[in-house]
Amino acid sequence: MTVLRNARLVLPDGVERGDLRIQDGRIATSTTPGADEIDLGGRYVVPGFVDMHVHGGAGASYQSGQAEDARRVAEFHLAAGTTTTIASLVTGDPRELADAIAALADLAADGLLAGVHLEGPYLARERCGAHDPALLRPPDLAEFGRLVALGRGHLRMITLAPELPGALDLVRAAVDAGVIAAVGHTEAPGAIARAAFGAGARVATHLFNAMRPLHHREGGPIAAALNDPRVTVELVNDGVHVEPAVVRLAVAAAGAGRVALITDAMAATGMGDGDYRLGVMDVQVRDGRATLAGGSSIAGSTITMADGFRRAITDVGLPIEQAAEAAALTPARALGIDSRVGSLESGKDADLLVLDDDLTVARVMKGGRWL
């Protein structure tokens, strides 16, 4: 057993000064003799972050489908405080996606990943962002069924544009297969977005970005998502994708319980400025901002969850408990794994972070073990 003494525990309903007990990789309620006691000197303890949308980091990408690359990405983000990771794939040709999902499913089965997210290929050309428009295609139930089978239960989410022909049928098929349907990269009017949520879609992919903008006479997918209490809205809180005032607006509209901070991180994260790839697309990173080479379309981010969490407090002005909820419990709830991770509650996995006074990550614990 390990006992973390003199900690400021960040809980869903506030911050509590006290001790945290850890036994057999889980958060415990009582102390057994011979416990290893660590005095944290009043440091914050927050739940390990849960990133439900991340493409890469440390110079590598999940898109390659190579185990070495996937481990490099996951381990980089783990060291930065993301204890639960979903591997996101951008639009690719059928063979590439099939191979990548099959390979990543093996790593999910081993516990390295919490699943796989398909961002595409059923997206709107008008809102393709950093996806290759030549590879976009209409929803294909047969292809989706093959990808689900290759995922062996580890395909967790698919982002699609609900206005495309057959998209609502694919939303229903995803729900039936236990895959989260997400609305994103879309030009859908509000009525179609609401129909997608009515059919079972439960996530809005990086709200505001790569989707029809909010208009006072046509709210589009943004208003549809913010007004639906069943929908979790993703936000990339890097100061590039959305400004702090817009993050505050989204939290005010939906509540921290429906806002999931994500990174949408690509290979450049942790590497600095330079030239990179996102799928088949060339990306340039300048001053930490990733855009398509020769263009202005944002191509993912270069932040970690710790960066987005800290900005939620320092730039957006959220209380630390709301920032922790948005970075851990809300995405865990959206993924259906909140019984195991996402908060510092008894019986859950001992996935947690110790923060210094400036909110930087001092130590990371995964399953009761310090990194």
CATH number of the domain to which 207 belongs: 3.20.20.140
Say if residue 30's pLDDT is above 80. no
Question: Are the C-beta atoms of residues 48 and 341 closer than 8 Å to each other?
Answer: yes
Catalytic residue chosen out of the listed positions 238, 264, 338, 351: 264
Instruction: Read off the pLDDT of residues 52-96 as tens digits, 9 standing for 90 and up.
Output: 999 999 999 999 999 999 999 999 999 999 999 999 999 999 999
Q: In CATH, what number is assigned to the domain containing residue 6?
A: 2.30.40.10
- For residue 363, the Cα-to-chain-centroid distance in whole angstroms is 21
User: Are 294 and 146 in a shared domain?
Assistant: yes
Q: Tell whether 56 and 195 lie within a shared domain.
A: yes
Instruction: Give the span between the Cα atoms of 164 and 186, in whole angstroms.
Output: 9
- In terms of domains, do 163 and 288 share one? yes
Looking at the fold, whether 38 and 56 belong to one and the same domain comes out as no
Give the bridge partners for 83, in sequence order: none
pLDDT of residue 197: 98
What average pLDDT does the segment 173-189 reach? 98
Q: Which long-range contacts link 237-240 to residues 24+ away (Cβ below 8 Å)? A: 237/261, 237/303, 237/308, 237/311, 237/312, 237/315, 237/316, 238/263, 238/301, 238/302, 238/303, 238/307, 238/308, 238/311, 239/311, 239/315, 240/288, 240/289, 240/298, 240/301
Give the per-residue pLDDT at 248.
98
Are 258 and 325 contacting, i.e. CB atoms less than 8 angstroms apart? no
Whether residues 202 and 267 fall in one domain: yes
Looking only at the bridges linking them, the beta strands covering 44-47 and 203-204 are unpaired
Q: What is the rounded distance in angstroms from the CA atom of residue 260 to the CA atom of residue 277?
A: 26
Q: Output the pLDDT for position 294.
A: 85
Residue 29 pLDDT > 90: no
Residue 269, pLDDT score = 98
In a domain, 65, yes or no: yes
Sequence-separated (6 or more) residues with CB below 8 Å from residue 222? 204, 207, 208, 211, 212, 213, 214
Q: Is residue 347 part of a domain?
A: no
172: domain range?
49-341
Taking only the tens place, the pLDDT of each residue in 309-341 is: 999 999 999 999 999 999 999 999 999 999 999
| 349 domain-assigned | no
User: Hey, how many other C-beta atoms are within 10 angstroms of the C-beta on 202?
Assistant: 21
Check the CA dihedral 148-153-155-157 and report its sign. positive
For residue 264, indicate whether it is catalytic.
yes
Burial 32-69 (b: 16+ CB within 10 A, else e): eeeeeebebeebbbbbbbbbbbbbbbbbbbbbbbbeeb
Shared domain for 134 and 209, answered yes or no, is: yes
Express each pLDDT in 92-132 by its tens digit.
999 999 999 999 999 999 999 999 999 999 999 999 999 99
* Any domain includes 9: yes
Same-domain check for residues 8 and 88: no
Alpha-carbon gap, residue 209 to 234, rounded angstroms: 10
Say yes or no: 246 and 363 in one domain: no
Domain-located, residue 346 = no
